[in-house]
Structure formats: C-alpha cells, structure tokens
Amino acid sequence: MHTKLYGESQHQQTLTPAQAADILGLSKGTLEVWRSTGRYNLPFIKMGRYVRYRLSDINAFIESRTYCNTTQARLAGGAV
C-alpha cells in the first residue's frame, strides 16, 4: 500500500522496502545491506522500526544511474 506524507503532493508517495525493491529489481535484503553500509546514496525514512522510501527518491536514484554507454558509466564510477 502506498502511503502519502501529510500535506505533500502525489509525487511524494512512500513505499515499503519490498515495494522499493520491486521497482528497482532488487531483493529486499539488498536494500537492507545498502541502508546499513551506505553503499549507495538512496535516501530512506525511518519511523520507529519502520522504513519507507519516497517514490521520488527511487526515481531520482534510477535517473542518477542511467547512462548511454559503459564508458560513461565507468567514468561516473558506476559498476559495469
């Protein structure tokens, strides 16, 4: 279920880790590792024991890792 931050627009929907992982094509466990190690700059929201991701942050993460060729990715420091 998508939840919405109070008073925020539609693009600020929040996702569970399972939903975020599904969008990214990853396992939920991979996101857990990324959160704990800080491997990638993917913001998350921590509310007590619950973790949520903003859909806009997921989309920005995807855009920041989108390249036209492998040389471009390599120069940017992305895994090829």
pLDDT surpassing 80 at residue 80:
no
The boundaries of the domain holding residue 71 are 3-76
d(CA 46, CA 23): 19
Question: pLDDT tens-digit profile of 1-53?
Answer: 455 545 555 558 999 999 999 999 999 999 999 999 999 999 999 999 999 99
What CATH number is associated with residue 38? 1.10.10.10
Q: How many domains does the chain have?
A: 1
